[in-house]
Amino acid sequence: MDKVHNVAVIVGSLRKDSINRKVANALAELAPAELKLSIVEIGHLPIYNQDSDENPPTAMTEFRARIKMADAVLFVTPEHNRSVPAALKNALDIASRPYGKNAWSGKPGAVVSASPGAPGGFGANHHLRQSLVFLNVPAMAQPEAYIGGADKLFDANGKLINDETRKFLQDFMQAYVAWITTNTKS
């Protein structure tokens, strides 16, 4: 077997019954053996304030360390007002600071957006990609992953029940393995 890549999964939704957390869990179940996905929580992070760079709260330093240790990052996000949720943007800011110590830099990334609506979080997906360019995260361009009608894809226990979506997510994860392999420094 090839090297196992540790992937930090950032779920943009903080909801208890989050559709995007269900998608993230499905991705972890469908991931090839070369990937080990771990959700890195963001809901407990304080709002980023540059004044805290000199003496950051423990939650911030632990989060930065988790991102720094990851080989790659996978973002699974809903759309809020055609953009990413505030908690996700805050997490991006926290791990990119202080200036010159960007924990995201160089980590191969991918974005999945899911929503009950038909566009599947298209706006959030693309808005997040704009930030990833600046953060030096090479984001996988294809296949794109916008999952519309996501509220109907899971059973009461949060298990994926749609075979077409399962196949799509398996193919997405296979492409992501190739992306990580191509974009990881030896």
38-64: per-residue pLDDT in tens? 999 999 999 999 999 999 999 999 999
Quickly state the pLDDT bin for 1 (edges 50, 70, 90): low
**DSSP codes of every residue in 34-70:** TEEEEE---TTPPPP-GGGGSS--HHHHHHHHHHHH-
**Number of structural domains in the chain:** 1
Quickly state the pLDDT bin for 185 (edges 50, 70, 90): confident
Angle, helices 19-30/163-183, rounded to nearest 10 degrees: 70
Please name which of 53, 125, 55 lies closest in space to residue 93, comparing C-alpha atoms.
53
CA atoms within 13 A on the CB side of 158: 13
Find the domain containing 141 and state its range: 5-183
Q: Is 83 helix (H, G, I), strand (E, B) or coil?
A: strand
State the CATH number of the domain containing residue 20: 3.40.50.360
* Res 186: pLDDT: 57
Its pTM stands at 0.96
